[in-house]
Amino acid sequence: MIIDPDNPLAVEIRQEMAETYFAACQQMVASLEALKVFDRTVAAATPDHAQIGRRSELLEEACERVHFVVIQREALELSCLEGFFDDYEITDEVRARMGPKRGK
């Protein structure tokens, strides 16, 4: 997307897009971290039914957040998606399940 630096409205729109993208990234990072913390905490024990359900919720949230950020990256025409996955340490499990939350 080419932005005319002399067009204040275009610059304002671009700034809004960037702010939205970075807010989505923060939410994504928080959801990925919540999943990692859960996995570290429960890894030593055999998970019960409630823990399995909680992990499923955390995984679904992380998958949705990553999906939304990937869509925003595409809209912003940001490149290097593989680098993005590596930089944020997005697991293969999350990558394979990326998408919106599934209805119950």
pLDDT at 2: 63
| Per-residue pLDDT, 37 | 95
Tens digits of per-residue pLDDT, 3-43? 677 888 888 888 898 999 999 999 999 999 999 999 998 87
Chain segment 67-104, per-residue pLDDT in tens: 999 999 998 888 888 899 999 999 999 999 998 887 65
Q: How many CB atoms lie within 10 A of CB 103?
A: 4
pLDDT at 64: 97
| H-state helical runs in the chain | 8-42, 49-75, 81-87, 92-97
Average pLDDT over residues 48-69: 94
CB of 99 closer than 8 Å to CB of 65: no
